């Protein structure tokens, strides 16, 4: 990518649930930040609460956007959110469209995650299994905060119930009523290209036997989990990436929704271990050029 195809505004990468910037030396956006920077894009990988509601995470993101526009002198930013990071970005853009040039959802549960629905049904908060899951999430979240060498801000609050409610079909439906910007009008359709001056885009992948379960994914435990999690899906059983359904991911202009990428492959995890025919980093580099061509 040459200099003149770098986006005009900084790219702000927002992680999903249990996300981070860099665990010691290990980055969340594996190989992606470097690839974008090679094309001269200005890139910020940011951190928000690993476990919290879309609204709390969105407010944290807004504070970070404020810092970035002050630091860079840019008028606004392009937000790219993975998984719950997409909902976090949508919240920020709905509240401050003047500070956001675009929102891009990468495997975002824009209509909820059927995996979250399954956990809601089978691991209720007041059950033993629910308490065990809550305890485990607290430990993992504390470890992430402790090991994240890329984050230097204040201690991030944890709200497990708020986080969970922010990801179920029912919880996201309520979120969508308040923040409908970019959503398609019909299930499986595209959303509007632009709302309140903010451009909306999305892409996602699906599990594809013979592709996503082959190649270097044979050595990636997260790929195995995605195949297990996919069994909890009902509505989009044959059409999900293990954590998010193909149509549930739609937002704004749908760039693609059938890439052979599971929910972790799509951000080049783990360690770039991918299935056959997978090129997640290329999707980010192409998108930077797309934003540039749109004047963003
Ligand atoms: Ca993988």
**What distance in angstroms lies between residue 222's CA and the mean position of ligand 1's atoms?**
6
Residue 101 C-alpha to ligand 1 middle, in angstroms?
30
**For the chain, how many structural domains are there in total?**
1
Determine the Cα–Cα distance for residues 131 and 258; give it in Å rounded to an integer: 36
The CATH number covering residue 120 comes to: 3.40.50.1820
Would the pLDDT of 2 be above 60? no
Which active-site residues does the annotation give? 83, 241, 263
In the structure, what pLDDT confidence band is assigned to residue 3 with cuts at 50, 70 and 90? low
Q: Is the pLDDT of residue 4 over 80?
A: no
Whole-number Å distance, alpha carbon 58 to ligand 1 midpoint, is 27
Centroid of ligand 1 to alpha carbon of 69 (angstroms): 34
pLDDT digit string, tens, across residues 124-182 = 888 999 999 999 999 999 999 999 999 999 999 999 999 999 999 999 999 999 999 99
**126: CB partners within 8 A, 6+ apart:** none
Share of the chain above pLDDT 90, in %: 96
**pLDDT tens digits, 256-291:** 999 999 999 999 999 999 999 999 999 999 999 999
181-204 residue pLDDT tens: 999 999 999 999 999 999 999 999
Which residue bears the tokens 């030396």? 25
For residues 174 and 84, give the distance between their C-alpha atoms in angstroms, rounded to a whole number: 15
Could you tell me the residue range of the domain that residue 220 belongs to? Answer: 3-293
pTM of the model: 0.97
């Amino acid at each position: 990518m040459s200099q003149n195809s770098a986006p005009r505004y900084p790219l702000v990468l927002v992680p999903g649930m249990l996300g981070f910037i860099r665990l010691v030396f290990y980055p969340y956006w594996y190989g992606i930040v470097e690839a974008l920077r090679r094309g001269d894009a200005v890139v910020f990988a940011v951190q928000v609460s690993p476990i919290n509601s879309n609204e709390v995470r969105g407010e944290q993101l807004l504070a970070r956007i404020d810092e970035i526009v002050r630091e860079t002198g840019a008028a606004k930013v392009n937000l790219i959110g993975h998984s719950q990071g997409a909902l976090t970005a949508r919240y920020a853009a709905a509240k401050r469209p003047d500070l956001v040039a675009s929102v891009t959802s990468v495997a975002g549960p824009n209509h909820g995650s059927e995996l979250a629905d399954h956990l809601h049904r089978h691991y209720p908060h007041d059950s033993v299994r629910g308490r065990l899951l809550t305890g485990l999430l607290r430990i993992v979240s504390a470890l992430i905060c402790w090991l994240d060498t890329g984050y230097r801000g204040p201690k991030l609050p944890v709200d497990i119930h708020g986080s969970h409610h922010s990801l179920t079909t029912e919880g996201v439906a309520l979120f969508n009523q308040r923040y409908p910007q970019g959503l398609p009008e019909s299930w499986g359709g595209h959303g509007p290209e632009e709302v309140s001056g903010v451009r909306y885009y999305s892409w996602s992948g699906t599990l594809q036997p013979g592709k996503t379960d082959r190649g270097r994914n044979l050595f990636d435990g997260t790929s195995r989990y995605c195949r297990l999690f996919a069994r909890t899906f009902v509505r989009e059983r044959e059409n999900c990436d293990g954590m998010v359904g193909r149509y549930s991911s739609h937002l704004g202009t749908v760039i693609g929704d059938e890439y052979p990428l599971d929910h972790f492959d799509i951000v080049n995890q783990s360690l770039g271990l991918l299935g056959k025919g997978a090129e997640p980093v290329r999707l980010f580099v192409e998108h930077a050029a797309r934003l540039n061509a749109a004047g963003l």
